Amino acid sequence: MGDANLLTFPARLRAANLVRTLVCLVVLAVAVAVLTLVFGRSGERIAVQMCVNVAAVVALGVFCGNTGIVSFGHGAFMAIGAYLSGILTMPAGIQRTSLPDLPAFLAGHELSLWTALPVVALTGLVFAAISGTAIARLMGASAAIASLGLLIITHGVAVGAREITRGSQTFFGVPRVVDLSLAFGAAVVFILLARAYRESPAGLFARAARDDDAAAAALGINPRRTRFVSWCLSGAMCTVAGALYGHMLGAFSPASFYLSLVFAHVAMMIVGGMASVGGAVTGVIGITLLQDGVRQFEGGVEVFGVALPEVFGLTTVSLGLAILLVIWLRPTGLVGRFELGPGAGARIFERISRETSPARAPARVSEEILEAEQLSKSFAGVKAVDHMTFAAPTGRVTGLIGPNGAGKSTLVNLITRQYHADGGKTLLSGRDLSTVSAENVARAGISRSFQNLRLFQGLTVYENVLVSALAAGHRGAQAAAVALRELRAFDLGDLAATRADALSYGARKRLEIARAIAQEPVILLLDEPAAGMNPAETDDLADRLMQIRDERGIGILLIDHDLHFVNRLSGWTVVMHRGTLIAEGAPDEVRADPAVIEAYIGRGRTAAAITRTTKEETLPQQGVRP
């Protein structure tokens, strides 16, 4: 793929996104056309159902795909949508006989579907906001189970509230107004909405938080809020899809929205691929065809003269097997990790040759100073950081060294509020940062890299950096320009459209720093940026960092075990041992400090002996940590 061209013609990225949306729509349109043209009336019925399912599953995917959390709760939203829309649109005559005890504020509205839908969507949004305050706090499997709890709660209420829902009896009299054009139109609108959200800054933030919660927070993204926003949008969309489902069925009961429906929709999403809108569409089409094919055999059928017995639940088994086969053979789903459609480097985009205006050269930051005062943190009685006081001003690289376990990474985590300090505070030019959230530390102008790589694995290299620029407050084309500028600065242009988890180790390390720099920070905290790099790569990194320091005047707090590397860059060295400050000063002075030598080598060898035997050598280099 000609990724390098993306740096010159970023418009191709946007074009690729458009084409991918088109591909989703075309796939659906072709499936609908084939069904209706080949199978006539029965095909049209299947097509209507398929389109409504596309709407529901695409809505489900807005939450699941962007946050990585499987939700079983959207059946609750569908039930609310179906019942509410049913009650609002029902002819008053039928309503009086079927729901005699309906509360007055719900009775006798006789709205048309189009006036009912906004009410339904709004109700769904309110319900999503209420349930989302709880569910957005949870992650992974806990959130999935909590959403299952939501489904059970809603089902229980639907069965219990007899005067509104007729309990577990059939709820009938809902106008069957969903025809093929309405269902297809709804599916198209939902696909457009889902695609737009996925590629929007909010969707990008959600996907970043999905891949790494802590790294997203360190960029100033609030992971909980991204889950909440996705949940609300997805919930409101699901409620509308539920209303359509209800108007398609005409009569339903709480069981229609319970586990079997949820199971079918989750299966469609997983089979197609959870991470993309194209996956949801493909999954629905595939499973619908499979189910309708299998249904022919459910009532018992004769195959080649052999009468097969009636098998109850054959469609369920086929769904289960489809999920198992897809998960075993293709864990990311039929569509895989990317959206369906050509990548930005594909040949069809070669005509697009509009260049973007390059980002302005980074401005020099104003003079600020990061100060730690008496910072302390204990883990179960071990004083990891003990009354540390030091300063890192802009315009200088401050080296932070010390043996393994000295508390250096803990100190960085205290400054960025990944950990909460037991005592002491951090100040940025006098502003107290020791009570704000991790996101606000980032917004104050402090960005960081992580000792153990924390990239957004499911995003491309370009998106990794773009997220950072967007989170720092750049908008639209300007964010893109900043992202491209930093990619260029760290020689990652050729890899722009590659997924981060496909990079080599050295490129990942550089990408982490590029991501941090794209925030245009005042202070940059680098936790072992050169660990695991070979000497040539380390030298290259040092050159790039010096250039950044000189061009932008930012302050860098540099932790590393490679003392040549640290000494080459730093104007000031701080030495930690067992959580406390044991020395600080110009690199040359610190190097000769007996306390420092003792910390690294241990008692018994005097400083003089060390300087005599090693002469020009600096302190013995510690082994490279993996």
CA–CA separation, 585 and 401 (whole Å): 12
Site for other proteins in 147-186 (CB under 8 A): 148-150, 152-154, 156-157, 159-162
Q: Where are the alpha helices (DSSP H) in 330-437?
A: 408-415
Rounded to the nearest angstrom, the gap between the alpha carbon of residue 613 and the centroid of all alpha carbons in its chain is 53
Of 317, 348, 363, 595, the one binding other proteins (CB under 8 A) is 317
CA–CA separation, 87 and 106 (whole Å): 7
Helix (H, G, I), strand (E, B) or coil at 550: helix
Residues 464-503: x where in contact with other proteins by CB under 8 A, - otherwise, as a string = ----------------------------------------
Rounded to the nearest angstrom, the gap between the alpha carbon of residue 570 and the centroid of all alpha carbons in its chain is 36
Q: Where are the alpha helices (DSSP H) in 304-365?
A: 314-329
CA–CA separation, 405 and 550 (whole Å): 32
Least distance to other proteins, CB of residue 141, Å: 5
Spatial CA neighbour of 277 closest among 16, 32, 21: 21
* Span interacting with other proteins, options 85-93, 116-124, 130-138, 476-484, rule CB under 8 A: 130-138
Of 8, 17, 98, 316, the one binding other proteins (CB under 8 A) is 316
CA–CA separation, 395 and 397 (whole Å): 7
The yes or no reply on residue 141 touching other proteins (CB under 8 A) is yes
Segment (H or E) for 576: strand 572-577
Q: Between 11 and 209, name the residue whose CB sits nearer to other proteins.
A: 209
How many residues touch other proteins under the rule CB under 8 A: the total is 52
The yes or no reply on residue 126 touching other proteins (CB under 8 A) is no
Of 35, 270, 470, 503, the one binding other proteins (CB under 8 A) is 270
Residue 621's CB: how many other CB atoms inside 10 A? 13
Of 40, 91, 103, 140, the one binding other proteins (CB under 8 A) is 140
Beta bridge partners of 527: 559
Q: Between 65 and 587, name the residue whose CB sits nearer to other proteins.
A: 65
Least distance to other proteins, CB of residue 579, Å: 16
The yes or no reply on residue 335 touching other proteins (CB under 8 A) is no
The yes or no reply on residue 265 touching other proteins (CB under 8 A) is no
* Span interacting with other proteins, options 135-143, 351-359, 428-436, 467-475, rule CB under 8 A: 135-143
Of 27, 79, 144, 209, the one binding other proteins (CB under 8 A) is 144
Q: Between 7 and 148, name the residue whose CB sits nearer to other proteins.
A: 148
Of 8, 356, 389, 451, the one binding other proteins (CB under 8 A) is 451
Residues 596 and 619: beta-carbon distance below 8 Å: yes
Least distance to other proteins, CB of residue 588, Å: 32
Of 454, 508, 552, 591, the one binding other proteins (CB under 8 A) is 454
- CB burial string 471-494: b at 16+ within 10 A, e below: bbebeeebbbbbbbbbbebbebbb
Q: Between 304 and 328, name the residue whose CB sits nearer to other proteins.
A: 328
Site for other proteins in 192-231 (CB under 8 A): 214
Segment (H or E) for 341: none
Taking phi first (over 0 means left), then psi (-120 to 50 degrees means alpha), and beta for anything else, what does residue 400 get? beta
* Span interacting with other proteins, options 12-20, 139-147, 477-485, 612-620, rule CB under 8 A: 139-147
Q: Between 309 and 604, name the residue whose CB sits nearer to other proteins.
A: 309
Residues near 302 by beta carbon (within 8 Å), at least 6 away in sequence? 308
Q: What are the structure tokens assigned to 480, written together? A: 């893109």
- Per DSSP bridges, beta strands 446-448 and 306-307 are unpaired
Site for other proteins in 271-300 (CB under 8 A): 274
Q: Between 409 and 538, name the residue whose CB sits nearer to other proteins.
A: 409
Helix (H, G, I), strand (E, B) or coil at 521: coil
Q: Between 178 and 388, name the residue whose CB sits nearer to other proteins.
A: 388
Residues 34-73: x where in contact with other proteins by CB under 8 A, - otherwise, as a string = ----------------------------------xxx---
* Span interacting with other proteins, options 142-150, 239-247, 335-343, 618-626, rule CB under 8 A: 142-150
The yes or no reply on residue 559 touching other proteins (CB under 8 A) is no
The yes or no reply on residue 382 touching other proteins (CB under 8 A) is no
Phi, psi of 505 (to 5 degrees): -60, -45
Phi, psi of 331 (to 5 degrees): -55, -25
CA–CA separation, 75 and 156 (whole Å): 13
Least distance to other proteins, CB of residue 315, Å: 9
Exposure on the CB side of residue 390, measured as CA atoms within 13 A: 26
CA–CA separation, 109 and 111 (whole Å): 5
Q: Between 37 and 301, name the residue whose CB sits nearer to other proteins.
A: 301
Identity of residue 181: S
Exposure on the CB side of residue 601, measured as CA atoms within 13 A: 20
Of 30, 42, 137, 330, the one binding other proteins (CB under 8 A) is 137
Beta bridge partners of 472: none
Q: Which residues sit at the interface with other proteins, rule CB under 8 A?
A: 68-70, 133-134, 137-138, 140-142, 144-146, 148-150, 152-154, 156-157, 159-162, 214, 263, 266-267, 270, 274, 311-314, 316-317, 319-321, 323-324, 327-328, 331, 409, 413, 418, 450-452, 454
